Amino acid sequence: MLNVSRSSLHYKPKVQDDDALRLAMIRLAKQYGRYGYRKIIELLRIEGWRINHKKVERLWREEGLKLPERHKKRRRLYHRDSSVIRMRPIHANHVWAIDFVHDKLSNGRRYKMLTVLGEFTRQALCVEVRDKMNSDNVLQVMHRQLMKYGKPEFIHSDNGGEFVAEHLEDWLKKLA
């Protein structure tokens, strides 16, 4: 009469209660904090659960489970001989880190910030903000900081164009 098969007409979906699976999944996620849903699926299967990975992934999202974010590795300060031993600051004025930060204002103008940081105290010794900054400006700022805080044993910087200028290198050699 309706041209519908008898099996589909009388089909009654099985209502599954996922609460036990959710609790097992949350328990394993708390116990193994760095494991993601793929590893939790394997642990659930070891415990005897017969489950599909898609179901666990869906429940994982619904429960709002996420891996904690990884911490960024700290960059290494190498000795002059390029050895892999990390040089740790052991007192104030032992190691200074200098670097540039670039940004834009809301009106589109660009600016540069030269930051000088004492690595032992984690104190910002100087933040110099200008539209443009070259090695001469870096020399002026560094001279002011040397007069104010004294000479550091090491200066850590990247190889930016402002830090590899010849007269800056000569000036730093005279300080040594």
Residues near 146 by beta carbon (within 8 Å), at least 6 away in sequence: 175
pLDDT band at 96 (very low <50, low <70, confident <90, very high): confident
- Using alpha carbons, list the distances in angstroms from residue 102 to 50, 99, 110, 118: 54, 10, 7, 20
First to last CA, the chain: 100
Beta bridge pairs of residue 102: 112
Ranked by mean pLDDT, the top range of 70-79, 101-110, 154-163 is 101-110
* pLDDT greater at residue 10 or residue 96: 96
Kindly report the three-state secondary structure assignment for every residue of 3-45. Answer: CCCHHHHCCCCCCCCCHHHHHHHHHHHHHCCCCCHHHHHHHHH
Ranked by mean pLDDT, the top range of 27-36, 39-48, 92-101, 166-175 is 39-48
Beta bridge pairs of residue 111: 103
Q: What is the arithmetic mean of pLDDT over 13-32?
A: 87
Helices 53-62, 37-46: inter-axial angle, 10-degree rounding: 120
pLDDT recorded at residue 40: 92
| Whole-angstrom distance, CA of residue 104 vs CA of residue 90 | 36
What DSSP state is assigned to residue 140? H
